[in-house]
Amino acid sequence: MTFQVYELPCIYIGANNDRGCVVSELVLLNFQASYRVRSMSRVDLAVELITSARNYTVRLLDTTCADDWFRQPPGGITHIAWQVGHLAAAEFRLTLDRIRGARPGDVELMPEPFLRLFGGESVPDPDAAKYPSATEIRAVLDRVHRQALKELSSLAEHELDSPTGKPHPIATTKYWSLLWCAQHEMVHAGQIGLLRRLLGEKPLW
């Protein structure tokens, strides 16, 4: 299946199908033919959404002092360091582990202690001494993302409707695992943005 994507800022338009679409194709009705259209596979669409979400997260992180990563605002229950580590763990699970299963090199890519600190069942701790440094957490985030993009570039379209290798309450197929990765990242990017504001940073769009 391919998608017709009109190259307008932040708008992705998918063909209707039994699994839904990114934006209803009904909005196409009044578009003029002058807009450039390109076809995009579901794999390419998922990768583009994941990349777009990560680019926004990176913009937030690149404008936030590393000294603020472990600061929790008064009454806060989380900090930027946990958010970033959690995004790295989630991308590993959603784009690699649940797509192609465990591989021998995964221990170096995503160490088990890191998963315990930042996985879905983990709880943010205000004690920075219990975590890797901000630099180390960011390195894992970037490393996992590079590997995800590398492996997804060769993912076959016919695999997308297969069940994920491990159960997930939302992502029941490999395709939805990839789409949820992008959506999940934006949820946590929003939390990072809010933390930045509470720590005195200016908003970043």
- Report the range of poorest mean pLDDT among 5-9, 76-80, 101-105: 5-9
pLDDT at position 166, please?
Answer: 86
Q: What is the dihedral of CA 144, 145, 148, 154, to 10 degrees?
A: -140
pLDDT category of residue 93 using cuts at 50, 70 and 90: very high
Whole-number CA gyration radius for the chain: 18
d(CA 121, CA 115): 10
CATH number for region 42-198: 1.20.120.450
Q: What percent of the chain has pLDDT over 70?
A: 81
Burial of 186 (0-12, 13-18, 19+ CB in 10 A): middle
pTM greater than 0.75 (yes/no): yes
* Amino acid occupying residue 199: L
Partners of residue 40 on adjacent β-strands: 3
Element of type H or E holding 39 = strand 37-41
| Domain regions of the chain by residue span | 42-198
d(CA 114, CA 44): 29
Query: 72 versus 3: which is more confidently predicted?
Result: 72
pLDDT at position 205, please?
Answer: 78
Q: Give tens-digit pLDDT for 105-155.
A: 999 999 999 999 999 999 999 999 999 999 999 999 999 999 999 999 999
Q: What percent of the chain has pLDDT over 90?
A: 75
d(CA 190, CA 123): 18
First CA to last CA distance, the chain: 33
